[in-house]
A and B are shown apart, each in its own frame.
Chain A
Amino acid sequence: MDESRKEFWLNAVLLVGLFATPVIAMMIDEPFYVTLATRVAIFALAAVGLNLALGLGGMVSFGHALYFGLGGYVAGIMAHHAFSGMPMVFGLSGSDQMLAIWPVAMLLSGLVALVVGVLSLRTSGIFFIMITLAFAQMAYYFAIGWPTYGGEDGLPILVRNQFPGLNTLQTWHMFLLAYGALVIALAVFAMLRNARFGAALMAIRQNPERVAAVGISPFGIKLAAFVISGMITGLAGAMMADLNRFVSPSMLSWHVSGELIVICILGGVGRLFGPLAGAAIFVGFEVIFGGLTQHWQFWLGLVLLAVVLFARGGVIGIIAGRERHG
């Protein structure tokens, strides 16, 4: 079996496996695993966003917690105002409808990513890593210091936001939403990667001068990818806040940025299903080793170190072989 076929079957197993986990969990009456599968789907969604910038565009953003947390705060703040009846800025009222929250979360994340991208993409290498980190840290400290929405204590979402036709209070329905969003995001990722846009983006990662020489502006393409990347991660943040019914500055912390990169790398950076494989490993690790020892992150560190030093293609790379180009 050639390697791309192996990767296809591996992807299929991942996608079906993620769907089967909550179904089986409900049959054997273990609702905990439904929540777990939902967490995997949402982390994978966030990492699909990052994978667009990191994997295809080679932009090492160490600040994607900014969009994750921003999405979370949009969900939290809109629900907060819907609940209290107080208007938000410009007299707009809040909302407890996910269909209203998600576009706002994506739009705001996209706008912030646009500003951050315009300023950061002037730099490269370590400077890009550090300036994206700096913007996320600004938001983190602002969220801690800003008292209106809970400051350091965070903001609870008293009743999970609504989606027409579903009962979001049931975790299974929440899973369906997250799974649906993940599948759509993966489709968008695949579409972008196979389009001329993706070809240009990957070419820029390898050699920006050549791409500029054939008349394509590397800056515009990278900026577009960065904005879409932020929007997808922002949507994931809004969903994660609703799943936890809580949003706090810790969603904006640099640990989250690091963990999103870890998820991308564990799975296989630039691979379509790398984020899903990585998120499954990450959450699985947390559950399995977290149940055995409170020092599970020690073992996560060792595994991560081994992957970086010895298995650079990530898990999908180990099973399906290295990509021949890229």
Chain B
Amino acid sequence: MSLALFIEQLLNGVQFGLMLFLMAAGLTLVFGVMGLINLAHGSLYMIGAFICAGVAAATGNFWIGLAAGVAAAAAAGAIIEMTVIRRLYDRDHLDQVLATFALILILSEGTSMLFGPFPLYLSRPDSLAGTVHLGFGFNYSLYRLALIGFGIAVAVGMWLLITRTQLGVRIRAGESDREMIAALGVNIKALYTVVFALGAALAGLAGALVGSIQSVQVGMGEPVLILAFVVIVIGGIGSIKGALVGALLVGVIDTMGRFLLPRLFDLLFDAGRATDIGAAIASMLIYMLMALVLILRPKGLFPAHG
């Protein structure tokens, strides 16, 4: 195992973690402000990817596609919030899980009706093709490096939004006391729609960006959704900082586990299938991490409300 390969896997882990952060940030905001469990968040990721792929194919320009994907996800988020989600804020978690599970069925099947059952292909933009030299004879994919840049930019942007803007003040106020800010004259309905659309836009951005590394297909949002939930549970639900730390932990541990564990098992045991078993355990690692965190700190690493 060469050092270059190790560093490449580590960067892949960071890149994966930052994309998970884009998903988890919206999920944790929606839970923190509105108290809602949104299983359909993965569908917004899928919508972002599909619209990006469709528009990029039609216009021949990835960036127009990306903008369209983000806008479409935000619009879909706003529409879903105003028609369905709004009715769920006062309901218990069971109703929220069920209604948003129903939304997954509707949005997945709806997408497959519109776009057909076959995966779409979204190629990365020409300007980001190829690799970049990082010193010590080590090359890394320029596109993945750009994803890391996107992730960091969004993280910084979120921090500025939450701490420095009027909207951020309202979001923080909404997290600590919903009734009070409504009583103070903030249009809480509009605030909820904006927060939901913001989360949806981030999910759509993640879907469009990741769509060009993987294939764009119905159901692509579900594995990511579950990982994003793992992230926010580890980080502490409602905390953006927790989402960032949790996402990086999950991204790096998952990627490095899949990379290192099969090799480790191969060294330790000489049974013929040690590598396979190592791989099987590696895919369980992050769920073990989540169970461990919940057992030791039942409210996650960075509990949002005391």
Contact = CB atoms under 8 A, between A and B. Distances in A.
Interface of A: 54, 60, 62, 119-120, 122-123, 125-127, 129-131, 133-135, 137-138, 141-142, 144-148, 151, 254, 258, 261-262, 265, 269, 295, 297-298, 300-302, 304-305, 308-309, 312
Contact of A129 (B37, B113, B288, B291): B37
Contacts of B226: 133, 137, 254
B284 A138 contact: yes
B159 interface: no
Nearest to A310: B87
Given A126-B237, A261-B98, 10 more contacts: A60-B97, A122-B298, A138-B287, A138-B288, A141-B283, A145-B277, A151-B276, A261-B97, A304-B105, A309-B99
B94 interface: yes
A265 to B, nearest CB: 6
Interface string B82-101: 00100100000111011101
Nearest to A312: B95
B97 A62 contact: yes
Interface in B38-61: none
Nearest to A303: B102
Interface string B102-122: 111110111011000000000
Contacts of B101: 258, 261-262, 304
A300 B109 CA distance: 10
Contact of A145 (B222, B230, B283): B283
20 contacts: A120-B294, A125-B93, A127-B298, A131-B290, A133-B229, A135-B291, A138-B288, A138-B291, A141-B284, A145-B279, A145-B283, A147-B276, A148-B273, A254-B222, A258-B101, A297-B108, A298-B105, A300-B105, A301-B102, A308-B99
Contacts of A302: 102, 106
Contact of A141 (B98, B102, B287, B295): B287
A144 B108 CA distance: 24
A295 B280 CA distance: 33
B299 interface: yes
Contacts of B237: 126-127
A71 to B, nearest CB: 20
A325 B112 CA distance: 43
Contacts of B87: 309
Nearest to A269: B94
A131 B282 CA distance: 18
A266 to B, nearest CB: 9
Interface string B24-39: 0000000100000100
A134 B291 contact: yes
Contact of A295 (B31, B109, B222, B291): B109
Nearest to B272: A147
Nearest to A118: B295
A151 B93 CA distance: 34
Chain B facing A: main interface SS: helix
Contacts of A133: 226, 229
Contacts of A309: 84, 87, 99
A135 B99 CA distance: 23
Report, nearest first, the 10 A-B pairs whose CB atoms are least far apart.
Answer: A145-B280, A301-B105, A298-B109, A301-B106, A304-B102, A141-B283, A305-B102, A138-B287, A301-B102, A308-B99
Contacts of B229: 130, 133
B233 interface: yes
Contacts of B299: 127
Contact of A305 (B84, B277, B290): B84
A193 to B, nearest CB: 19
Contacts of A135: 287, 291
Contacts of B102: 300-302, 304-305, 308
B84 to A, nearest CB: 7
Contacts of A138: 284, 287-288, 291
B294 A295 contact: no
Contact of A301 (B93, B109, B113, B230): B109
B98 A304 contact: yes
A269 B102 CA distance: 17
Given A60-B94, A122-B298, A133-B226, A298 B106 contact: yes
A145 B275 CA distance: 10
A291 to B, nearest CB: 16
Interface string B220-236: 00100010011001000
A136 to B, nearest CB: 9
B96 to A, nearest CB: 9
B105 A297 contact: yes
A145 B257 CA distance: 14
Contacts of B98: 261-262, 265, 304, 308
A14 B281 CA distance: 44
Nearest to B232: A130
A19 B105 CA distance: 31
Contacts of B95: 308, 312
A275 B102 CA distance: 18
Contacts of A146: 276-277, 280
A90 B160 CA distance: 60
B105 A126 contact: no
A308 B94 CA distance: 9
Contact of A127 (B233, B281, B288): B233
Contacts of A300: 102, 105
B195 to A, nearest CB: 17
A292 to B, nearest CB: 13
Nearest to B227: A137
A312 B88 CA distance: 12
